[in-house]
Structures are given as structure tokens and as C-alpha cells.
């Protein structure tokens, strides 16, 4: 039986980006996040991460799809675009502590530097970390707006994951604010989770490598890091991440094939080993059957 917590102060969440419709893999992750939260007495929150590309109508369809398969959430949906003062305050705190610097690198320059033999995979190599005042002035004069990076004090950090155990990953001088002034994902998610009382983060295992960076950043800001559960993704028959081109991958696509929301929920449950072939199940039944230790370790291969 999962450990119960105080639901007034503890929460889990699902945080989609409104860039398109949710596919079945997204819905499966949302279901898992809901089960993790509800089984432990946590609130379940929905946060729309809309600092990047927003497609008109996507948010409304995403929320409708979650509700259609029966998932409920607590309180109002939160939007990152309405929380900019929180991010600015966190960045200001890091600036006062001398933990930031301007970065003038282009995306191409970063990719080239990060692919150098001595650079950790995917890590920013610190190209602009120790620029002199004259060098910074020269780069500013070029007209290129700088991003703001964290001056990290370590290159590794360890987190605990409910499915992966102890995981040690790379920490680099991650971007806090992009050159266009937009707060970066890694900062926003850390600030939001702490501000919302989210102490359980369930998301796709493609984000596992981000957890050490985020937990380290939380510590620098004096914020508690959540517990993590990075769950396997849904992949297509070629072993690549599920996408629209892979067939009937959305709830609307499934409806056109005659599949009801109950049929879709049953398919998601079967993919988790929580329902028999042909069995229609309710969320109440899934909650009764829920055992986090039974979450499959391998991705779900969807044959659309």
C-alpha cells in the first residue's frame, strides 16, 4: 500500500505544453501521475506550461481529453505565463548570490562546443563563464541579446527515483532566462513545483536526465526537491517516440475508429498490466489495483 501523506500540503501534477493534442502516450503518463497522487492522498494538479509555442485551442482539447477518460484535478488550472513575477524573483535571488552570468553563445556554437571530446554529453561547456568585462562589452556591442545562465558549483547531482532508484546525472550551467527574456523551463518548473506544494513529480523517463539539474537548482533557491517517478514512454513500432504520423494516436483518432473513452482507458490499463484482454475497467478499479512497483520497466510499443 503506497504511503499516505497530508493532501492539504502535498500534491502531484500533470503539466502539458499546449503545442498540440495529447496522444495516447501523454494520456498514459497523465493516468500514471493521477494514480501515484490519488493512491497516496495527494492533491492532483494540472499546470499548463505555456512559455513556449502555444497552438490555439490545444489547451482546451487537452483538458477535455483528460476529463473524457475520467481524470479529475484539484483547484484551477495554473498557467506559467501568469507566473512571471515568481520566476523573476527566483532569478534575482540567484543574481544577488553571484550565481549567474550572461551567455552570448548561439545555438550552433553551443552544439559545437558541447560535442567536443572533453564535454559531458549534452552539457554546456562554460564558454561564457569567465569572460572579462571587455569581452562581455564586445559581445553586447554586437547586438546579440544574452541569455542568463546559472554558475553551477558542481557537475553532478544525485536524486532518488521511485522507479530508477538512485540516479546521478550531469549538472551544467543551465539557462535561467533565454535571450528573448523568457524564463527557461528548468527554472520555471522548479519554482512552480515548490510554490504549488508539488512534492511528487511523475513524468516520462526522457526527462530523467533533467532531474539532477532541477533538484540541484531547487537547493540553491532554498526550495525542497520533489520525489520523482520517471515512467516509460509510449513508442511506435520503430522504437521512436509516438507522434501524429503513427496513426490513430489521439483520443479523437480513436473515436473515429469507434473506440469509446472506456475502450481507451482499458487499453491504457492493459499497457500497464492492470487489465485483462477485453476487460473494461473504471478508475476506481485501477486505484484499487494500483501498485507502483508493478509499473512496467519497458516502454509501451503502440501499433497504430
- Known catalytic residues? 244
Q: How remote is the C-alpha of 3 from its chain's centroid?
A: 23
- The residue behind cell 495529447 is 22
SS3 9: coil
Distance CA 74, CA 223 (A): 23
CA atoms within 13 A on the CB side of 167: 25
User: What is the largest distance, in Å, between two alpha-carbon atoms of the chain?
Assistant: 70
Distance CA 171, CA 166 (A): 15
Distance CA 241, CA 284 (A): 29
| Closest C-alpha to 224, from 200, 206, 188, 202 | 200
- Give the residue numbers of the binding site for Zn(2+): 103, 105, 124, 128
- Give the residue numbers of the binding site: 13-17, 49, 103, 105, 124, 128, 185, 203, 244
Q: Which three cell numbers stand for residue 147?
A: 541569455
Amino acid at each position: 500500500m503506497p504511503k499516505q501523506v497530508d493532501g492539504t500540503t502535498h500534491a502531484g501534477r500533470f503539466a502539458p505544453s499546449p503545442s498540440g493534442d495529447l496522444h495516447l502516450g501523454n494520456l498514459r503518463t497523465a493516468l500514471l501521475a493521477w494514480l501515484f497522487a490519488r493512491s497516496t492522498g495527494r492533491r492532483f494538479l494540472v499546470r499548463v506550461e505555456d512559455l513556449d509555442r502555444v497552438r490555439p485551442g490545444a489547451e482546451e482539447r487537452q483538458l477535455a481529453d483528460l476529463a473524457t477518460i475520467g481524470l479529475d484535478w484539484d483547484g484551477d488550472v495554473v498557467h506559467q505565463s501568469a507566473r512571471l513575477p515568481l520566476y523573476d524573483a527566483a532569478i534575482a535571488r540567484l543574481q544577488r548570490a553571484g550565481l549567474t552570468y550572461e551567455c552570448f553563445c548561439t545555438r550552433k556554437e553551443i552544439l559545437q562546443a558541447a560535442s567536443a571530446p572533453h564535454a559531458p554529453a549534452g552539457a554546456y561547456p562554460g564558454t561564457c563563464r569567465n569572460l572579462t568585462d571587455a569581452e562581455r562589452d564586445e559581445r553586447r556591442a554586437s547586438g546579440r541579446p544574452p541569455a542568463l545562465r546559472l554558475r553551477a558549483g558542481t557537475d553532478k547531482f544525485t536524486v532518488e527515483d521511485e522507479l530508477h532508484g538512485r540516479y546521478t546525472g550531469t549538472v551544467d550551467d543551465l539557462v535561467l532566462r533565454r535571450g528573448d527574456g523568457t524564463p527557461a523551463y528548468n527554472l520555471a518548473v522548479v519554482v512552480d513545483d515548490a510554490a504549488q506544494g508539488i512534492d511528487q513529480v511523475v513524468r516520462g523517463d526522457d526527462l530523467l536526465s533533467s532531474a539532477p539539474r532541477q533538484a540541484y537548482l531547487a537547493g540553491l533557491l532554498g526550495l525542497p526537491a520533489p520525489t520523482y517517478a520517471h515512467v516509460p514512454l509510449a513508442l511506435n513500432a520503430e522504437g521512436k517516440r509516438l507522434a501524429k504520423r503513427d496513426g490513430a494516436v489521439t483520443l479523437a483518432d480513436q473515436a473515429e475508429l469507434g473506440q469509446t473513452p472506456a475502450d481507451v482507458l482499458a487499453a491504457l490499463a492493459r499497457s500497464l498490466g492492470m487489465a485483462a484482454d477485453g476487460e473494461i475497467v473504471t478508475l476506481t478499479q485501477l486505484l484499487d489495483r494500483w501498485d507502483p512497483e508493478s509499473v512496467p520497466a519497458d516502454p509501451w510499443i503502440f501499433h497504430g
